[in-house]
Structure 1
Amino acid sequence: MSKQKRISLFRYWTTRYVITLCIGLLVIGVLSSLWITYSETQKRLDIMRLMAAEISDRMVDADGKLKTDPFLFRILDRRQESLRLNVKPFFLILNEEKRPLFNAPGPFSSELTSLAEQLVNANDNATQVKLARGDELLFVKRSIQVNQKHVGWVVLFTHKKDITRSSTEFELLFIMLGGLGLLGWLVIYLLTRKLAQPIKNVADAAKQIVMGNYEIHLDKDSRENEIYDLIHSFKEMADRLKQLELMRTELLAGVTHELKTPVTSISGLVQAVKDDIVTGDEAKEFLDICTKETTRLQKMVEDLLDFNTFAVGDIRIRRENQNLGDLVQEITHQWQNGREEDRLELRVNKPPNEITVTTDPLRIQQIIYNLLNNAAQAIQGEGQIEVTLSETTQEIMIEVKDNGKGIPVEEQSFIFDRFYRGEEKKQLVRGLGLGLSFSRMIAQAMGGNLVLTTSSPQGSVFTLILRK
């Protein structure tokens, strides 16, 4: 047996949904962060290019020579405020020979001054430089031109990590991902709880059934079709098990009683003969009674054995061509001759044409005998039984109709259940309640069926249906 620890359905799926959600949000967060970083980098470079263009315009006097604008830093401060930059970029002004002409103060001034000529000569697509101590800077360059002649260069720098520090998009991203995570968890929690609750209720109800309590209560008003089918089917199963348990209890009591009665009778009668309490003709009568009781006991044991065989589907059918009209006539005649009482009128109705079918005559006899016996028990006095043979293009029907008391409506759905016996029949007839169940099994094994066509206080009609 597996020793793996079991957890609840609610916890199992909630945990996995949350893990999946977190992984999904993490991937979205990483990809979004990369995109925001790229977008912010391009945005900062565009702003620095605009500032470099403005500085280059202010670095040339009327004679076309480089000069330093005394208000340059104030202009840069205003641009920083208007563009909402959190960090002011630092810059270099180079002359025509690419020598530093002006160096704005900054943490990397000396190192950038030595790299100035290298940066100006770099490819126009280059926008990053890595310093000796590991710092990464973004830079843009702009040539200063007079009459289409290069007279100098403006190079602006900003620290790459300042972009991340100053970006509000990251804050919005983290707020959005946090909100989505919380909303996703809440949705998963509520949906999983709603899904797991009815399943848990069914599992708890199953435990009650295991403990022998069949009085379970489940909410059948579920809007989900699958959940509704599960609960409805489980409730029907519980009701059916309750009925079967009652039938099993009654069967055990009935079988015990039915087997005990002939055994006790036989034992008493044989003991009386043995002890010479009765002699002569009376002893012979006692032995005749013992023979009848033994025959009845043997029949009940055979029924139980047949039931076990039929229950596992081992019903042997030996088919042969039969004139069904003659077969029904012969079966009814044998049944009537085998009865001691002659208080019932038995009539057989069959069509004038011959009906031939490939079937097992012995199995047909078993079914009709059982139906005739049940009809005789239902009449309880003088009455009439009518057997009618008919056919359609696809089927052959044998109807057995009686004018007895009929079967109560509340019992009609159970009459083909194994070991089921109606309340009134229990008091009048000894038996195990297997006749109709056997008969239907046989009919289905032959490819047909046995049904209760109608039943009322005026009588009942059972129909054996055979396929052509």
Structure 2
Amino acid sequence: MSLLAENLAERIVAMNETEQDQPLFFYEREIKTELEINPSTYIVNTSGNIVSSNRPIGPIEQQLNSSILKSDDTIQSLDIYDNEFYVVKSPIEINDSVIGWVAMVESKEKLAHVDQEYNQLAILIISLALLGWAAIYVLSKRLSKPIKDVAEAAKLVAEGNYQIHIPNESKEKEVYELIHSFKEMTKKLERLESLRTELLAGVTHELKTPVTSISGLLQALKDGVVTGDEAKEFINISLKETEKMKTMVGDLLTFNQFAANAVLVNNETHAINDIVEDAVSSWQVVQKEEEINIKVDKLLNTVRVLVDPIRFQQVMTNLLNNAKQSMVNNGDINVTLKENGERIMIDVSDSGCGIPEVEQPFIFERFFRGEKKKYNIRGLGLGLALSKMMIQSIGGDLVLLKSSAEGTTFRIILLKITANMPDQNKSNRVENEV
């Protein structure tokens, strides 16, 4: 009502400024509000006399009470015919002078009654609720179904069944990545399970072979099948097989100790040139009659490292043995020392046939043996895995630098002793951390 009164007062002023003399007519549609209220509307002069109204008879017949016009309140209440009414007024101002008023009068009873469309509102709320529920249901179905499929597949994998099929047509990025990662994990688990079974069979075979040989040789001696020099030869073969078996069992025990962090290493300060030269010389002595061309490129300056000399020699021996085994005919082995910042790198390179690319990611896996080695050279496949553990136990690392048909290069990485690192001249027992 206040807005209607103000709007009507502005229209009267506008008509006066355009000097239009036509009378003002009231149309019901212009003063009817959205709440379906049709108040009695009056135009009065400054004395309160009614100039025009939208009804011939209303709550105010001829004159508006002067006290209503003089009051500062734009909304007032009054009693007319024992009924309570509300009066809303708005001044008609021309050149900052009030020439009259627009007043609207309506009973409190009608103003208090608002006819809202409760049914439409209820339908709207219910419709929105159903739409929201439907949207949540559809989305939850799209998200829950692939997750349920992954959960069912996980149960199958836990039971040892790796032959699973999960459709991956989800458009949600996170769900797609979940299914893709699960499939990749399943493939790797299947490969590892197959590899584990194969390696277990290989280890069993490798340990069984020398036992069978020793048993057969000793049985021949016992039965007197061989005598004299031939008997001595059988005994020598049995001793060699015993040494091989003892070496394999020793490798297993050592590996288990390193894997369980139960090995203590003795770190000492050594010049890297000296310790590498000693390891190569010791290996060459063991080769005896075999001629192996090996070259060592040492550092020009003296660099000291903290290292366990026994463990380091074991690693070097294993790398040199692998290099020798990879060469069908005697070839060249190069041991090159390099310095890069705080790191010392020892590269062991050979001119052998190399490691197949498909096998390279698994060479440091325990019990892994390549196809060529599996049938030509006996062993448990622990050499590289154990070597990597040993180097890591003294704060370094062992990596495959490169391998091709022209040869293979392994790199040992050690930290050199700097000015900020205390020089340790005596043996320190350091707990192995792999």
User: Superposed, which structure 2 residues align to 1:128-277 within 5 Å?
Assistant: 140-141=84-85, 167-168=116-117, 170-218=118-166, 224-277=172-225
Query: Is 1:407 paired with 2:355?
Result: yes
Separation (CA, whole Å) in 2 of partners of 1:310 and 1:357: 22
Note if contact 1:415-1:421 (Cα within 8 Å) is conserved in structure 2: yes
Query: Could you report, residue by residue, the CA deviation over 1:10-61 in whole angstroms, capped at 9, with x for unpaired residues?
Result: xxxxxxxxxxxxxxxxxxxxxxxxxxxxxxxx998x949759x999955788
Separation (CA, whole Å) in 1 of partners of 2:290 and 2:119: 102
Letter in 2 for 1:372: L
Letter in 2 for 1:262: P
Work out which of the residue numbers 325, 331, 337 in structure 1 matches 2:273.
325
Note if contact 1:343-1:383 (Cα within 8 Å) is conserved in structure 2: no
Change (3 A) 1:357 1:157: closer
Separation (CA, whole Å) in 2 of partners of 1:156 and 1:264: 113
Residue 339 (structure 2) aligns with: 391
Query: Is 1:467 paired with 2:399?
Result: no
Residue 199 of structure 1 deviates from its aligned partner by 2.1
Note if contact 1:396-1:467 (Cα within 8 Å) is conserved in structure 2: yes
Question: By percentage of residues, which structure has more helix?
Answer: 1
Query: Could you report, residue by residue, the CA deviation over 1:342-361 in whole angstroms, capped at 9, with x for unpaired residues?
Result: 14212211123212111111
Separation (CA, whole Å) in 1 of partners of 2:271 and 2:135: 71
Separation (CA, whole Å) in 2 of partners of 1:325 and 1:410: 35
Note if contact 2:255-2:386 (Cα within 8 Å) is conserved in structure 1: yes
Residue 357 (structure 1) aligns with: 305
Residue 399 (structure 2) aligns with: 451
Note if contact 2:37-2:110 (Cα within 8 Å) is conserved in structure 1: no
Note if contact 1:323-1:357 (Cα within 8 Å) is conserved in structure 2: yes
Residue 65 (structure 1) aligns with: none
Residue 88 (structure 1) aligns with: none
Residue 400 of structure 1 deviates from its aligned partner by 0.7
Q: Secondary structure at the match of 1:370?
A: helix
Residue 30 (structure 1) aligns with: none
Query: Is 1:433 paired with 2:381?
Result: yes
Residue 74 (structure 2) aligns with: none
Q: Secondary structure at the match of 1:347?
A: strand
- How many residues are paired up? 343
Residue 93 of structure 1 deviates from its aligned partner by 8.3
Work out which of the residue numbers 335, 348, 369 in structure 1 matches 2:283.
335
Q: Secondary structure at the match of 1:318?
A: strand
Moved more, 440-449 or 262-271: 440-449
Query: Is 1:309 paired with 2:257?
Result: yes
Residue 442 of structure 1 deviates from its aligned partner by 2.1
Give ranges in structure 2 of 5+ residues lacking alignment.
1-32, 42-52, 63-78, 88-105, 417-434
Residue 378 (structure 1) aligns with: 326
Residue 156 of structure 1 deviates from its aligned partner by 7.4
Q: Secondary structure at the match of 2:381?
A: coil
Letter in 1 for 2:217: L
Residue 367 of structure 1 deviates from its aligned partner by 1.3
Change (3 A) 1:57 1:464: same
Note if contact 2:350-2:409 (Cα within 8 Å) is conserved in structure 1: yes
Moved more, 194-203 or 333-342: 194-203
Query: Could you report, residue by residue, the CA deviation over 1:57-97 in whole angstroms, capped at 9, with x for unpaired residues?
Result: 557889xxxxxxxxxxxxxxxxxxxxxxxxxxxxx985xxx
Letter in 2 for 1:342: E
What's the TM-score, normalizing by structure 2? Answer: 0.69
Residue 232 (structure 2) aligns with: 284
Change (3 A) 1:227 1:61: closer
Moved more, 218-227 or 298-307: 218-227
Note if contact 1:49-1:141 (Cα within 8 Å) is conserved in structure 2: no
Residue 234 of structure 1 deviates from its aligned partner by 2.3
Higher relative contact order (CA 8 A, sep 6+): 2
Residue 430 of structure 1 deviates from its aligned partner by 1.0
Note if contact 1:247-1:419 (Cα within 8 Å) is conserved in structure 2: no
Letter in 2 for 1:349: D
Change (3 A) 1:59 1:323: closer
Residue 261 of structure 1 deviates from its aligned partner by 1.0
Separation (CA, whole Å) in 1 of partners of 2:289 and 2:193: 37
Separation (CA, whole Å) in 2 of partners of 1:232 and 1:60: 82
Residue 331 of structure 1 deviates from its aligned partner by 0.8
Residue 372 of structure 1 deviates from its aligned partner by 0.8
User: Percent identity between the aligned chains?
Assistant: 47
Residue 364 of structure 1 deviates from its aligned partner by 1.2
Separation (CA, whole Å) in 2 of partners of 1:225 and 1:309: 44
Residue 379 of structure 1 deviates from its aligned partner by 0.4
Letter in 2 for 1:268: G
Q: Secondary structure at the match of 1:327?
A: helix
Letter in 2 for 1:267: S
User: Superposed, which structure 2 residues align to 1:62-141 within 5 Å?
Assistant: 94=81, 140-141=84-85
Separation (CA, whole Å) in 2 of partners of 1:215 and 1:445: 39
What's the TM-score, normalizing by structure 1? Answer: 0.65
